[in-house]
């Protein structure tokens, strides 16, 4: 059983428990359910922003604790001030040390799009993301069938949410494309063994239809890499560990963005 298999198995248990604890009716009555989400594309393509989706992540299955000494409000506000186009907030508890409260905190502290970074397998999680104040949801092709991707993205769009589909190879990309996606992300991290290879993005970018925004995820640690990815056709760049592994992730993002301008 891979790490991804273990995560999905645990996620099914989590969702079942969440449904018992909070009803759909309660989610729909939540603080943020009636708000209009930000339009991801507008922020991603805004020339005064960096195109970076800056991630708040305390730990990972492959690295263990990355940084559990910082506050989500402070880090995400610093990310936004440094030019982030969007924020990514982990809400998985067991494997990434996240929490739904982290998403609520990031939403309250910021006025840019927030991605709920989790392993979405059930319609309930989409409704929950809306209630928590997310603007973007992530659908991972490796754990979903084409029919599930179609149904979940359709529900998300009906709620005004932006949809980011994550793929790891050409087969996942080709079988998963559907009309209700806003962006397609190429994850340079293999979720079966958590190794990374930036070449994955360069190999797949030309296969992504131009109607979708193109995002490169993981294994980005140098401004020069972003310039090369931009030249290849990418619009956005998800970076988490490179910032979070420092004592001051917001400052790390600021310094990185400053180098980006000078490259």
Closest of 197, 235, 230, 200 to residue 214, by C-alpha: 235
How many of the other CB atoms lie within 10 Å of CB of 247? 9
Give yes or no: 217 in active site: yes
Cβ atoms 152, 144 nearer than 8 A: yes
Give yes or no: 166 in active site: yes
Q: Which one of 55, 128, 172, 241 is the catalytic residue?
A: 55
Q: Which one of 128, 172, 217, 241 is the catalytic residue?
A: 217
Please give the full DSSP string across 40-60, using - where no structure is assigned: HHHHHS-TTS--EEEEE-SEE
Q: Which one of 60, 176, 187, 216 is the catalytic residue?
A: 187
Q: Which one of 85, 153, 201, 218 is the catalytic residue?
A: 218
Give yes or no: 6 in active site: no
Q: Which one of 11, 67, 85, 117 is the catalytic residue?
A: 117
Q: Which one of 11, 85, 166, 188 is the catalytic residue?
A: 166
Quickly list H helices, 115-240: 123-132, 146-158, 170-176, 199-204, 223-232
Give yes or no: 101 in active site: no
Q: Which residues are within 8 A (CB) of 171 and not within 5 positions of it... i.e. 6 or more apart? A: none
How many of the other CB atoms lie within 10 Å of CB of 255? 15
Q: Which one of 11, 57, 150, 214 is the catalytic residue?
A: 57
Cβ atoms 29, 36 nearer than 8 A: no
Give yes or no: 218 in active site: yes
Catalytic residue positions, numbered: 55, 57, 117, 166, 187, 217-218
């Amino acid at each position: 059983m891979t790490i991804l298999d273990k995560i999905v198995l645990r996620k099914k248990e989590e969702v079942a428990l969440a449904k018992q604890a909070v009803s759909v009716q309660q989610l729909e009555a939540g603080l943020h359910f009636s708000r209009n989400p930000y339009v991801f594309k507008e922020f991603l393509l805004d020339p005064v922003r960096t195109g970076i989706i800056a991630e708040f992540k305390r730990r990972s299955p492959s690295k263990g604790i990355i940084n559990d000494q910082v506050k989500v409000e402070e880090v995400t506000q610093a990310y936004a001030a440094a030019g982030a186009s969007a924020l990514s907030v982990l809400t998985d508890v067991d494997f990434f040390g996240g929490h739904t409260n982290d998403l609520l905190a990031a939403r309250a502290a910021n006025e840019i799009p927030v991605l709920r970074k989790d392993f979405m397998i059930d319609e309930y999680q989409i409704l929950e993301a809306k209630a928590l104040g997310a603007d973007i949801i992530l659908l991972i092709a490796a754990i979903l069938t084409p029919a599930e991707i179609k149904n979940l993205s359709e529900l998300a769009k009906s709620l005004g949410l932006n949809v980011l589909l994550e793929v790891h190879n050409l087969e996942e990309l080709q079988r998963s494309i559907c009309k209700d996606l806003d962006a397609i992300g190429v994850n340079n991290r293999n979720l079966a063994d958590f190794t990374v290879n930036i070449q994955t993005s360069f190999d797949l970018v030309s296969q992504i239809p131009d109607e979708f925004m193109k995002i490169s995820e993981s294994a980005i640690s140098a401004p020069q890499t972003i310039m090369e990815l931009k030249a290849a056709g990418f619009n956005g760049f998800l970076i988490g560990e490179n910032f979070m592994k420092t004592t001051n992730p917001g400052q790390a993002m600021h310094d990185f963005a400053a180098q980006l301008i000078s490259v």
